[in-house]
Structure formats: C-alpha cells, structure tokens
Amino acid sequence: MTVKAMIDEWYPVGLLSQLDLKGRKTALMDEPIDVALDADGNARVTGGNGRTLPVRVRYGHVWASLGEPKKELFDIPEADQPGRRFVDVGVVRVRCSPLRAVENFLDIAHFPFVHTDILGAEPHTEVQNYKVEIREEEDEVWATQVKFYQPQAAKSASGGITTEYMYRVPAPTCSVLYKTCPPRPGEWDVITLFVQPLAEDLCDVWPWMALFDDESSMTDLIHFQQTIFLQDRSILENQIPRLLPLDPGMEIPTRADLTSVAYRRWLKRHNYTYGAQLVAQ
Amino acid sequence: MPVALSVDLPAGTVVPARLPAGSVALWRSASGRPAASADRCPHRGMRLSHGFVRGEALSCIYHGWSYGQAGHCLRIPAHPRLAPPETIRVTTHRVEESDGLIWIAVGNPLSQPPRLTGFAPLRSLTVLAGVAAIEAAAGAKASLEGLLELSEDARNICLLLSAQDDGETLAHVLIKGEAGPADRVAASRTAESLRRKAEGLQKKEITQ
C-alpha cells in the first residue's frame, strides 16, 4: 500500500464542462485538491499545501498528478476522429478500491447476472477464449478477440448480437474499451473508464464515450451508461475485502478472468499498489 | 445461535445473518432445506447474501457461481462444460430449525437448540444495546440460553436474546400460547418500547 509508484501518474479530477472560477473541492489519493478555472479560462488544480499541480485537459476531463509525471497522458487516437459523438457521462462515486472498479470494467462474465437483459442474458453465459498480453513497448495491458452475446449491446443496438470487445489498460486507474459499433460495422465504439482515486477504498468513476451514434439523444446515451454503472456499483460496494488482493490465494480466477490476471500482474510489477491488498488476510 | 425466524426465510431466498465470526449467507432451497455459508464468494469476494437461490443451490449475483448445501461449487456459468474442481468451496455452518426458529451452530455444540414449548415466534428486532441494558430495562435476567421472560403485565411475552459482536443484540420476540391479532400487535409494541428503554439506558451508560 504505497503511494510512491502511482503518484507520478495522471488522474481525472473533473469535467472541463463543469468547471468554474469558484472551483470544486475534491481529493486525490487522500490529498485535498481544488479544481478551478483561472481568469484566462485555463484549468488549474491546487494541492493541499497550495502548490499548483501539473494539469492536462483531454477527453472532456481535467487531469492532474500529485507527483512529476514521467509520461505524457495516454493517447486515445479515436478522440480526434471526425464523426464521433463525445459523451461526458458524469461521475459515479463508489465505496471501493479504484483498482476494483477498473477490474470490474475488464470483466465480461458478470454481464448476464449484473446487467441482465442489457449486456448479457442467460443462458448465454459462456466466455470463449480470448487473447491477453502486456504490450511491452506501450507498457499497456491488452485483451483482444473478446466475444460475448448481448441482448442490447448499445443504445443504438436493436435486438441481440454477438459483440466483439477489445480492452486496453494504459494507466493504473484507467481503461479504454473498444466495442463493435452497431450502426457502423468496421468501426469501434470507444467507452472509457477514468477512475479518480479519492482514497484507497473510495473513488469517483468518470465514464466517457466516443461513439458513432447519430440517432440517440445525449440524455439517452448518458442514461444508458449510468444505468450500467449503477448496477456495477451494487457489486463493487459489496466485495470483501474492499482493496484488490494482488497476492494469489485470496481469490480464485478462471480462464474467463485472464484480463484481470494480467492487470493484477502488471499492477504488481509496477508497484501500483494504492488500493491493493498485498498480504492475504 | 438463534439467527432468524423460520417465517422470515421462505423457500428460494437468501438473507444475511450475523455470527460472532462475521456475516453468513442464510438461505433456504426450493425444497425447503435451510443452509448457512460464509458470506463471501471465493471467486471475487462478492457477498453471497446478495445472491439468489435456484433449486437446491445458492448462486453468487456477480458471476452466477453456484454452491450446494455442503458448500461445494456446482457450476461456473462462464465455463458451462467445466466441472468445477473439488477445491472450490465455501465454508458452511450447521443449521437447525425448531419451534419456528433457525439456529446456526457456533463452534461444535454437542446439544440441540433448546425447545421453546408453548411459545410461538412473533418477530425479530435488532436492539442497539447489550444484553445487560435489556435486562435492566425489563427488570429481569436472561437464562443461560438467552431467554428473558417479561414480568408483570407482559407475562405472555418472552425474548430470546443473542449478543452480536458489535454490542448490539438480536432479540426474537416469542408469544405464549394461542394469541390473536390484537395480542400479537400488543406484544410487538411492548417489545418495541422495551427496545427504546434499553437503548436509552445504553446511551446513558456511554455518556456517563
């Protein structure tokens, strides 16, 4: 449970569209911070002792770091692709480890039970083999060729389809999901999970989307995604222990959990242990 | 320990119950058999008391892993053709049901739960006070088995107390003999006012 390795990473701290001069008090890894617009209209994040933190504005969100980031904020090329609609979903506060929130996002086997009749339905519960790797050059976890039967894969989907997914973990508390795009075969919808760690067992989850969907209203798109995350929250707040166990023995993975196995291994390798439990208790 | 009234656990349901060692998932199969297991699915740590009962198995709400009455994993829906290994199991506790109450064995008791002949269970309530405060409020002492008979005008009511690890007490209200609806309502109100009195005494003790 060390802050050190994760302190130099970028974290989402708010929506750009909701910032004002007055600012918003929030927290980042137990440190109180203030997120505001300055007189010139730039985002400004102030740490607990009044110091100005490094800031980026990208993907609709303001990003900050408590340390000295050694890498630029990860790239999502689709964010610059014409024709996509960008959806600021908002925030869902969850009483769980930020790492548990990401791991749940990487999991498809829960769809029929937690997102019943939306992202999954019995008897279509089988998780077929897929590919998982840690891409050394980018230093990211990737899962590809993930296929799952879904009754309503997206707001723009009518009827059940077998959806293909790709997952990407470019930062310890962020994941990017690429998903079959019902109205535009050949393209991928992008749904992200940006997690702001408030404390080791408390986080603000900021989902964001870059979709090809000219039909649905913004309200419907946001509502669809919020429904999904509220269903996830009922799980995340009831897992024991709250922290993510990184040592084997505490939980039992199966073949369907290979993405989570790789994610945990990657976290451990980098000492990304804020929100993790290291010794089985 | 008496953990619930039989009537509060219909067939095909699961509820959380508390033991000194922590929370357990108390459930009743479709055929009516009660069972108790650790309140944690070993796959991802989800509380099994949030799960669902189908047939003779308890399933976790997260990924649908299901467990039999003896605690062994019967099915992993993500791998429907895989027979779950014997090693995947949840800890279970012995359950006894008698006179309308469900008991969970703590440790390895040699005897059966005490009989409550002549009494019928009415309802359960959680009292935010210890057994001593409830005894003081009732002006009577509980027996070794946790039975507390109320005095004077409430002789038809008996409380079965079971202390929780956080200082709270689970109280099952029992009523004597043939009781009509009016008697039952009155007994319930008597138990509630006793609860308020005990909680008041407990608060006073903490502030002093």
Q: Residue A271 belongs to a domain with what CATH number?
A: 3.90.380.10
Q: Residue B156 above 90 pLDDT?
A: no
Could you tell me the strand order of the sheet in which B52-54 lies?
B52-54, B57-59, B66-67, B73-75
Q: Are B35 and B56 in contact (CB under 8 A)?
A: no
B25-72 pLDDT tens trace: 999 999 999 999 999 999 999 999 999 999 999 999 999 999 999 999
Q: Where in chain A does DSSP place strands (E)?
A: 11-15, 24-28, 31-37, 43-46, 55-58, 61-64, 85-88, 92-94, 131-135, 140-150, 161-171, 174-180, 188-199, 202-211, 244-245, 276-277
Q: How many angstroms separate the CA atoms of B162 and B165, rounded?
A: 10
Give the residue on A whose Cα is nearest the Cα of B38: A240
Residues in chain B: 208
How many other C-beta atoms lie within 10 A of the C-beta of residue B117? 6
Optimal mutation site among B14, B40, B48, B62, interface A, most CBs of chain A within 10 A:
B62
Are the Cβ atoms of A255 and B77 closer than 8 angstroms? no
Task: Give exposure, A145-171, as e/b (b: 16+ Cβ within 10 Å).
Answer: ebbbbbbbbbbbbeeebebbbbbbbbb
Domain ranges (residues) in chain B: 2-104, 119-207
Name residues whose C-beta falls within 8 Å of residue A92's C-beta, 6 or more positions apart in sequence. Answer: A204, A205, A207, A226, A229, A230, A233
DSSP-assigned beta bridge partners for residue B30: none
Q: How far is A115 from chain B (nearest CA, A)?
A: 10
Query: In percent, how much of chain B has pLDDT > 70?
Result: 98
Q: How many angstroms separate the CA atoms of A227 and B100, rounded?
A: 40
Residue A127: inside a domain: yes
Are the Cβ atoms of A125 and B45 closer than 8 angstroms? no
Q: Is residue A237 within 8 angstroms of chain B, CB to CB?
A: no
Residue A36: inside a domain: no
Are the Cβ atoms of B44 and A251 closer than 8 angstroms? yes
Residues of A in contact with B78 (CB under 8 A): 109, 125-127, 254-256
Q: How many angstroms separate the CA atoms of A195 and A175, rounded?
A: 9
Name residues whose C-beta falls within 8 Å of residue A163's C-beta, 6 or more positions apart in sequence. Answer: A147, A148, A149, A150, A153, A179, A180
Q: How many angstroms separate the CA atoms of B153 and B35, rounded?
A: 38
Is the ipTM here above 0.85? Answer: yes
Residue A189: inside a domain: yes
Residues of B in contact with A125 (CB under 8 A): 64, 77-78, 80
Are the Cβ atoms of B64 and A112 closer than 8 angstroms? yes
Q: What pLDDT does residue A64 have?
A: 98
Query: B48, B31, B30: which is closest to B40 by C-alpha?
Result: B48
Split into its structural domains, chain A has a count of 1
Residue A32: inside a domain: no
CATH number at B119-207: 3.30.70
What average pLDDT does the structure give for chain B? 94
Are the Cβ atoms of A113 and B43 closer than 8 angstroms? no
Q: Is residue A231 within 8 angstroms of chain B, CB to CB?
A: no
Query: Between B40, B47, B78, which is nearest A254 by CB?
Result: B78
Pick the more confident residue, B64 or B115.
Answer: B64
DSSP-assigned beta bridge partners for residue B96: B103
Q: Which of residues 117-176 of A touch B (CB under 8 A)?
A: 122, 125-127
| Parent domain of A117 | 80-277
Q: Residue B179 above 60 pLDDT?
A: yes
Residue A104: inside a domain: yes
Q: Are A101 and A269 in contact (CB under 8 A)?
A: no
Q: How far is A238 from chain B (nearest CA, A)?
A: 6
Q: Is residue A113 within 8 angstroms of chain B, CB to CB?
A: yes
Query: Between A127, A238, A241, which is nearest B78 by CB?
Result: A127
Mean pLDDT per 10-residue run, chain A (281 residues)?
A: 80 96 96 96 95 98 97 97 95 98 98 95 96 97 95 76 94 97 89 98 97 92 94 98 92 97 97 89 48
Query: Between B43, B60, B77, which is nearest A125 by CB?
Result: B77
Q: Where in A38-139 does DSSP place strands (E)?
A: 43-46, 55-58, 61-64, 85-88, 92-94, 131-135
Q: Is residue A261 within 8 angstroms of chain B, CB to CB?
A: no
Q: How far is A126 from chain B (nearest CA, A)?
A: 4
Burial class (CB in 10 A: 0-12, 13-18, 19+), B103: buried
Residues of A in contact with B71 (CB under 8 A): none
Q: CATH class for domain B2-104? A: mainly beta
Residue A217: inside a domain: yes
Q: What pLDDT does residue A280 have?
A: 54
Residues of B in contact with A126 (CB under 8 A): 77-80
Q: What pLDDT does residue B153 have?
A: 65
Are the Cβ atoms of B64 and A245 closer than 8 angstroms? no
Residue A39: inside a domain: no
